[in-house]
Amino acid sequence: WMTGFAAVIWIAVIVLTFYAVKAPPERHDRRRTNLLIIGGGAVVPTIAVAVLAMYGLAPIPALLAPAPDGSLRITVSGEQWWWRVSYQPPGGEPVVLANEIRLPVGRPVEFRLESPDVIHSFWIPALGGKIDMIPGRITRLALTPTKTGVFRGACAEYCGTSHALMNFDVIVEESAAFDRWLAQQRAPASMINEPDAARGQELFFANGCAACHQIRGTPAKGVIGPDLTHVGSRRSIGAGMLPNNSATLLRWIARTEQVKPGSLMPSYGMLPEEDLKSLAAYMEVLK
C-alpha cells in the first residue's frame, strides 16, 4: 500500500511537471497557479502523509506489546559489529549463539534487545518493524512468523566503521524442526575425531582464542567474542558477510581486520598456512 501510494504521487508529480513545461503560458494564470500550489503542495501531501502514517503506525502497538506467557524469548545484543543471540526457553538454561536466529513458524516470540557499546537498530524487514538497541536500556519486540523461509536481518542505525557489514540470517522453520535444532544447540560441542580438526583444537588453545570465545564442553570460557560451540552449523560467518565453509573460515581467521575493518578480533595471518587450515577445520566440525 505504501509503495502504491508513493507510485501514484510520483506519477502525479511527473504529469504536473510535463504540464508546467508544455502548457501555453496563458494557462498559468494566478488563480489556477495558487490553487495548484495550495492543493498540490499542502492539502494533498497532508492527507496522503496522514493516511500513510495511520496505516504504517497501526501495527506498532502489537509489536511492542509483551508476547503471551510461555512464549519463546530471545535476548539479542548488538555489538560492534556482530549479534550476540541468547535463547531463553521456558524452564531451561539459556542457549547462546551468534549472528543467526531461528524461529518456529506460527509461534509468538519476544525479543529483548540491548547493546553494550553504541546505539544499534534491530530490523528484520520481512517480519517486523525496526527498533533501537540503546546502551543501558532493554527494548522489546514481539512478533509471530507466519511463513517459513530464510530472511535477512540488519542493523538499521549507523554504529561505526563496519555498520554496513553487520547483518544476520533469520531462518523460520516448522515447529518440530525448530525444537530439534534448539535441542542440538543446547548440547556441548561434539568430540573431535578428525586428526586435522584435533590439531586445530590444540592450536585454538595454544594461540589464546579461548580468552575471547566459549566452546561449551571444553575449557574455552571466553565471553568477549561470539560463542563458537556450534559455529560449523551456521549459514554464514562474520555477521552475514561470508558463507560458512573451510575457505572462508581460513580467510576470516587469517585476515579478520581486512575482511571487517575495525573488528576487535586480531588477525592470525602470522600463523603458517597449515595451522590456519587446521584451525578452520576445527571450526568447521563444530556442528
Contact status, residue 58 vs residue 156, Cβ threshold 8 Å: no
Among candidates 101, 164, 147, which has minimal Cα distance to 112? 101
Instruction: Give me the chain's average pLDDT, please.
Output: 91
Q: Does residue 59 carry a pLDDT above 80?
A: no
Q: Locate the DSSP E strands across 167-233.
A: 167-173
pTM of the model: 0.80
What is the tens place of the pLDDT at every residue in 175-220? 999 999 999 999 999 888 899 999 999 999 999 999 999 999 999 9
Distance of alpha carbon 25 from alpha carbon 45, whole angstroms: 26
Cell of 142: 514481539
- What confidence score (pLDDT) does residue 257 get? 92
